[in-house]
A = this chain, B = another copy of it.
Amino acid sequence: MEFLRDNANVIALAVSGLGLLFALYRMRWVLTQDAGNERMQKIALAIQKGAQAFLRREYRAVSILVVVVSVVLVALSFIPGSRMSAWTAVAFVAGALASGVAGYVGMYTAVRANVRTAQAASKSLNGGLRVAFTSGTVMGTIVVSLALLGVSGLFILFSNLLPPLEAVSALAGFGFGGTSIAIFARVGGGIYTKAADVGADLVGKTEAGIPEDDPRNPATIADNVGDNVGDVAGMGSDLFESYASSIIAAITLAALGSGLSPDKTLVGQVFPILVAAVGLIIGIGSTFLVTTKEGATQEMLLGSLRRGVYGASLLVAAAVVVLGLIFDLGWGVILATLSGLVGGVLIGYFTEYFTADSYSPTRALSISAQGGAGIVVIRGMALGMFSTVAPVLIVVIVTLLATAASGLYGVAVAAVGMLATLGITLATDAYGPVADNAGGIAEMARMDKTVRQRTDALDSLGNTTAATGKGFAIGSAAMTALALNAAFITALQGANGSGLNILMIDVLDARFITGLFLGAVLPYLFSALAMLAVGRAAQEIVKEVRRQFSEISGILEGVAEPDYERCVGISTDSAIRQMILPGIIAVVTPVALAFLAVVGRDNVIGQFVGTNTLVGMLIGALVSAFMLAVMMANAGGAWDNAKKYIEAGNYGGKGSDAHKAAVVGDTVGDPFKDTAGPSLNILLKLLAIVALVIAPLLANTPLV
């Protein structure tokens, strides 16, 4: 036990290294697969170039942000009396770098796995599944490995260099760095992916009358790139941050002694790191449980993915019990961690229940499509609103149990538990767009019909896992944000030297109420901006496609090649330009409130803004964003699947009035589930982590 405790970070470093090696090994395996004929490779190359172009521009923009923020962080540490450490900036850069590399490698693999999946699917279904899922495994493993590497490495460094408060606040910089990538990849990527999708459809299907994934459409490559940008890089960076931040929150709470007896302070910091390390190894092992055989039904395919996820969950649960007992942390901590693990699985289940066409909610939505577009939209909104109840109850029960079992520390380890199986969960998730792209390539390269059937089966499975993954991402974001808020408020107390572990606030204080309202309105503002951005970016693509159709003669006849790259470039630029405003709002709000709280210490400003305003804002945003995100994600997922259910031949099938109505629902749902909804995950974590990073600045500010 003492060996484990004293060497936990070294062990975690070693495990991360192992994970990285495994990721590289699986990546190599993917790259050595047959990449198909020349035509396929040409299409794949266009997607690769497009993805590369997006990442290049994103990273260029992000690097400006990273430099600016780093300078600000260093400057803040030099304010007289500031207890922020300049090391925060180092952690920040490391977090951005780690998340950036993870996204790059994951995308690099995914856009090469797509064509290889198509080729393997021309031989067998299992072959296709293996290539696509292995590509997902690379993403899942590298995200987890780099996050763990960063947290454990910096923890070794900071705990030797800095006093506890400064150390944990600097460590939070790593999560902040991850978010700065996430906001570009998830928000910018979300705008990009839907703008390309909508733009391609509007001008291609509607105006030119050519089918989806047709190589004559100049925006078709942008659309394919978008799948990877949103669901591989975006989802990966989102969960990178949840994963890193939940561990950081647990370490912070343990270090500041919240919810643990004083003699457990040290093991309390070690426990979440080891849970993550064990989870990483188990995640790697359980990827081998995912196989299927030829002619597998949808249920069998889903079953094989579930085997992986559930198997990993069971093993991690056992490991949590063992680790808890070894460290003598008591059943409270064990129970708290397990409640998070179970909660994550349950949220995934309910998400599936509300969005999969095998259950009654989505079936009823399909039926309602017969009543017309208006009815199906109303019904879908009602479904989305109704579906918020289950995840809220799950989060609430997990929080109540975890807190009763081991205080605020319990909430943080519950988040760690929920995310402990991230390696495999993310693998099932990142697999989807690869299968989707494979289908697109099969179509564009005019491959045999059986290939498209097989990739369609894989893709349809990907839609289910994508919906579940979104539910999981929101749920874990909420738990992480709650843990970060707890860490922030605890740090605040530490900074104030009040020695309290709770923050008593007058709930009727107008400044607190103001904070709640401001926090609650932020997700609405953020979503509105994201949805408007999709519309604007799509318009730019439409304009460009129209220009190409009219200026480059022979495109529609298939003799001249469209300029794919320009479409990619235009939607990339537009997406990145339009995520700046929401991004700034998210970063500036907590900083501005903190600034006003400090400035207003001794004057009239203090009557209107206080630290309680900042606290209220964090809580208001958490609650409001969670509801809105679940509603949008589930309504979007249900509309998508209701449309597909009709396309499968129900209620009139493709081309019927019901189908046309369902298409409207799906159009509304796209920015809901792929842009605005996921963006809110980033928003709520960003607000919380920024607050934690600047917590030491609020030293000596009255708390109420």
Q: Which residues does A use to contact B, with CB under 8 Å?
A: 202, 206, 368, 371-375, 377-379, 381-383, 385-386, 388-389, 392, 395-396, 399-400, 402-404, 408, 411, 482, 485-486, 489, 502-511, 513-514, 516-518, 520-521, 524-525, 527-529, 531-532, 534-535, 607-608, 615, 619-620, 623-624, 626-627, 631, 663-664, 666-668, 671, 704
A356 to chain B, nearest CB (A): 19
Contact for A202 among B206, B371, B509, B521, CB less than 8 A: B371
Given the known A-B contacts A374-B667, A392-B517, are A503 and B511 also in contact in the complex, defined by CB atoms under 8 Å?
no
Given the known A-B contacts A374-B668, A396-B518, are A508 and B525 also in contact in the complex, defined by CB atoms under 8 Å?
no
User: Are A531 and B382 closer than 8 Å at their CB atoms?
Assistant: yes
User: Are A392 and B521 closer than 8 Å at their CB atoms?
Assistant: yes
Q: How far is the CA of A516 from the CA of B671 in the complex (A)?
A: 28
A529 to chain B, nearest CB (A): 8
Given the known A-B contacts A524-B389, A535-B375, are A502 and B508 also in contact in the complex, defined by CB atoms under 8 Å?
yes
A516 to chain B, nearest CB (A): 5
Given the known A-B contacts A377-B664, A507-B615, are A608 and B404 also in contact in the complex, defined by CB atoms under 8 Å?
yes
**Residues on B with beta carbons closer than 8 Å to the beta carbon of A371:** 202, 535
Contact for A396 among B505, B514, B631, CB less than 8 A: B514
Q: How far is the CA of A485 from the CA of B513 in the complex (A)?
A: 12
**Residues on B with beta carbons closer than 8 Å to the beta carbon of A510:** 399-400, 402-404, 411
**Residues on B with beta carbons closer than 8 Å to the beta carbon of A520:** 392, 623-624, 626-627
**Residues on B with beta carbons closer than 8 Å to the beta carbon of A509:** 403, 502
Contact for A504 among B395, B504, B525, CB less than 8 A: B504
The 7 closest A-B pairs by CB, nearest first: A374-B667, A403-B510, A385-B528, A386-B528, A502-B506, A382-B531, A504-B504
Count of this chain's copies in the oligomeric assembly = 2
Q: How far is the CA of A355 from the CA of B489 in the complex (A)?
A: 41
Given the known A-B contacts A507-B615, A510-B400, A624-B520, are A378 and B535 also in contact in the complex, defined by CB atoms under 8 Å?
yes
A154 to chain B, nearest CB (A): 26
Given the known A-B contacts A378-B531, A668-B377, are A386 and B524 also in contact in the complex, defined by CB atoms under 8 Å?
yes
A-B contact pairs, 28 of them (CB 8 A): A372-B664, A374-B664, A375-B535, A375-B667, A378-B534, A378-B671, A382-B531, A388-B525, A389-B521, A389-B524, A392-B518, A392-B520, A396-B514, A399-B510, A399-B513, A399-B514, A403-B510, A503-B508, A505-B506, A507-B507, A507-B619, A513-B619, A516-B623, A517-B623, A520-B623, A520-B624, A524-B631, A624-B624
Q: How far is the CA of A516 from the CA of B626 in the complex (A)?
A: 12
User: Are B514 and A489 closer than 8 Å at their CB atoms?
Assistant: no
User: Are B667 and A608 closer than 8 Å at their CB atoms?
Assistant: no
**Residues on B with beta carbons closer than 8 Å to the beta carbon of A627:** 520-521, 524, 624
User: Are B381 and A531 closer than 8 Å at their CB atoms?
Assistant: yes
User: Are B489 and A400 closer than 8 Å at their CB atoms?
Assistant: no
**Residues on B with beta carbons closer than 8 Å to the beta carbon of A381:** 531, 668
A209 to chain B, nearest CB (A): 15
Given the known A-B contacts A400-B511, A510-B403, A667-B375, are A385 and B518 also in contact in the complex, defined by CB atoms under 8 Å?
no
**Residues on B with beta carbons closer than 8 Å to the beta carbon of A624:** 520, 623-624, 627
Given the known A-B contacts A528-B386, A623-B624, are A664 and B664 also in contact in the complex, defined by CB atoms under 8 Å?
yes
Contact for A373 among B408, B521, B626, B664, CB less than 8 A: B664
Q: How far is the CA of A202 from the CA of B619 in the complex (A)?
A: 44
A615's closest neighbor in chain B, by CB?
B507
Contact for A374 among B516, B663, B704, CB less than 8 A: B663
A194's closest neighbor in chain B, by CB?
B378
Q: How far is the CA of A554 from the CA of B563 in the complex (A)?
A: 63
**Residues on B with beta carbons closer than 8 Å to the beta carbon of A527:** 382, 385
**Residues on B with beta carbons closer than 8 Å to the beta carbon of A525:** 385-386, 388-389
A504's closest neighbor in chain B, by CB?
B504
**Residues on B with beta carbons closer than 8 Å to the beta carbon of A373:** 373, 664, 667
Q: How far is the CA of A537 from the CA of B389 in the complex (A)?
A: 24
**Residues on B with beta carbons closer than 8 Å to the beta carbon of A528:** 382-383, 385-386
**Residues on B with beta carbons closer than 8 Å to the beta carbon of A482:** 513
A593 to chain B, nearest CB (A): 13
**Residues on B with beta carbons closer than 8 Å to the beta carbon of A206:** 372
Q: How far is the CA of A608 from the CA of B400 in the complex (A)?
A: 6
